[in-house]
Chains A and B, each alone.
Chain A
């Protein structure tokens, strides 16, 4: 579904990604792990088109999307849950959700009902402003808003960052539900244990390069190969 071939990316003069290659199969969850500042978010931004790669290929369903604008990539079926629960704070929960909806042929209520089934708390808070939600609710809203675009694949940038352990568990269950529904997910995460539990494949990134890749089973048995890239 998604394949990165030798992707290089820069921020101005700084060379951040040094030939990243990875893939996400249809219906699978792939976790991208690594310490802060190793290029995980840059990888996500390169994929969604915020910071297009300077070299290399990003194939989404066989199309090289390198250089496509973000709105075009989104319309091809890719959604983003940005880092830091970036919701629209001055809009209500329902308005936030409706902004994600763009298929005018189907009534937006159909999509909303599905979303409210998955996140009942959002229905209760439908008329509240985004800024008045708790951190966990904001994260649910960010995920729900991305789902409103009816994506084939979703990029999640550290969805558990700064959340209380009980909320992490709740949101973790929702991500598992999404995985079971057949959605492809690329999950950027620092919580190794959760990522290893949910992902079908894990990559570890260090200084803008993929330094390890393996299934959860391999990941557990090959700790010596990746631990030094994760430990501080």
Chain B
């Protein structure tokens, strides 16, 4: 945190202040959007660890998000509403799944990795769809209560729940920031740049990719936990490839390999989706045009391009 704040003291401080004050200024609808932005921002950051830093485009990231969410929902269905138990299991079950699936999917790379992750993702989606007794099938699981932390404040109040999400979001940012700036994180970037060069330096590159895959799965699970608490409902659609595709877009639009860029990407997609869909039924067309423009003119994403411009500006001074 210290390094993060010393590197970006003004921006970091302003952002934290804004995120703290905003709920006091926003309408209930605005606050609901902002809460979603934080949840999906966390989800997108976890994917950025894989896509932007490790160079692995995974098409089953929604699996971990959905499994985290389903874990909480199933526990709630069993009458187990303890937040900390749900949180621990909501992270550790996706981690265990990533431990297992990582062994299989990381046997391939490039487009084959993308295809095999898609295949496994759809297998889990199909399982959730068919395993009606546990997952509720296509009806999903509804009525998941907001967490009870044993504090005097109720999480049913939107503001309180927002602050809870904000605390975990900030904590996740800190851990991910620390991770990517550690020697291990630099080694993961080294793998993205050249796996053979890293092998020649004595690194077990497969192990590094595996670690990254597991960590990313764990944080996606955490995002899933808060998503189901926020939404109160989970269905197999949250495990579907369309969800993985959406989070990939968030990373691309925000800027892969920038960590906070995907949060901006998540914000843009969620806010634009809600904004445009309130004016027209053909909102996906407008979104499509925006995506095309972003890919054509902002190849490094919004944050990536801004950072590039800033560097250029400094170079011209």
Binding site for B on A (CB under 8 A): 48-50, 69-71, 74-75, 79-80, 82, 86, 88-91, 95, 98-100, 102, 145-146, 149
What is the distance, in angstroms, from A102's C-beta to the closest C-beta of chain B? 6
* A99 and B190 contacting across the interface, CB-CB below 8 Å: yes
Q: Once the chains are docked, how many angstroms separate the CA of A105 from the CA of B193?
A: 27
Neighbouring A residues of B187 by C-beta, 8 Å = 99
* B199 and A91 contacting across the interface, CB-CB below 8 Å: no
Contact A88 to B197, CB < 8 A, known contacts A71-B204, A99-B186: yes
B189 within 8 A of partner (CB): yes
Contact of B202 among A75, A88, A98 (CB under 8 A): A75
What is the distance, in angstroms, from A111's C-beta to the closest C-beta of chain B? 13
* B189 and A74 contacting across the interface, CB-CB below 8 Å: no
In residues 182-200 of chain B, which contact A (Cβ within 8 Å)? 183, 186-187, 189-190, 193-194, 196-200
Those 9 A-B pairs whose CB atoms lie nearest each other, nearest first: A74-B202, A70-B199, A80-B200, A75-B202, A71-B199, A88-B193, A95-B186, A71-B202, A99-B190
Beyond A71-B203, A91-B190, A100-B201, 13 extra complex contacts between A and B, CB < 8 Å = A50-B196, A71-B201, A71-B202, A74-B200, A82-B197, A88-B197, A91-B189, A98-B183, A98-B186, A99-B186, A99-B190, A145-B201, A149-B201
Neighbouring A residues of B198 by C-beta, 8 Å = 99
Main secondary structure of the interface of A (DSSP, over half): mixed
Interface size on B, residues (CB 8 A): 17
B205 within 8 A of partner (CB): yes
Q: Once the chains are docked, how many angstroms separate the CA of A145 from the CA of B196?
A: 14
Neighbouring A residues of B202 by C-beta, 8 Å = 71, 74-75, 102, 149
B203 to A, closest residue via Cβ: A71
* B194 and A86 contacting across the interface, CB-CB below 8 Å: yes
* B201 and A74 contacting across the interface, CB-CB below 8 Å: yes
Q: Once the chains are docked, how many angstroms separate the CA of A82 from the CA of B198?
A: 11
Q: Once the chains are docked, how many angstroms separate the CA of A108 from the CA of B60?
A: 38
Q: Once the chains are docked, how many angstroms separate the CA of A182 from the CA of B294?
A: 55
Contact of B201 among A69, A90, A95, A99 (CB under 8 A): A99
Neighbouring A residues of B197 by C-beta, 8 Å = 82, 86, 88
A92 to B, closest residue via Cβ: B186
B205 to A, closest residue via Cβ: A71
Q: Once the chains are docked, how many angstroms separate the CA of A71 from the CA of B197?
A: 10
**21 residue pairs A–B, Cβ–Cβ below 8 Å:** A48-B200, A50-B196, A69-B199, A70-B200, A71-B203, A71-B204, A79-B201, A86-B194, A86-B197, A88-B193, A89-B193, A90-B193, A91-B186, A91-B189, A95-B186, A99-B187, A99-B203, A102-B201, A102-B203, A146-B201, A149-B201
Q: Once the chains are docked, how many angstroms separate the CA of A100 from the CA of B198?
A: 8
* B199 and A74 contacting across the interface, CB-CB below 8 Å: yes
Q: Once the chains are docked, how many angstroms separate the CA of A95 from the CA of B190?
A: 10
Neighbouring B residues of A48 by C-beta, 8 Å = 200
Task: Find the residue from B190, B197, B202, B205 having the highest chain A CB count within 10 A.
Answer: B202
* A88 and B190 contacting across the interface, CB-CB below 8 Å: yes
What is the distance, in angstroms, from A81's C-beta to the closest C-beta of chain B? 9
Q: Once the chains are docked, how many angstroms separate the CA of A50 from the CA of B187?
A: 19
Neighbouring A residues of B186 by C-beta, 8 Å = 91, 95, 98-99
* B189 and A79 contacting across the interface, CB-CB below 8 Å: no
What is the distance, in angstroms, from B121's C-beta to the closest C-beta of chain A? 29
Contact with A along B198-216 (1 / 0, CB 8 A): 1111111100000000000
Q: Once the chains are docked, how many angstroms separate the CA of A80 from the CA of B204?
A: 16
Q: Once the chains are docked, how many angstroms separate the CA of A74 from the CA of B204?
A: 11
Neighbouring A residues of B199 by C-beta, 8 Å = 49-50, 69-71, 74
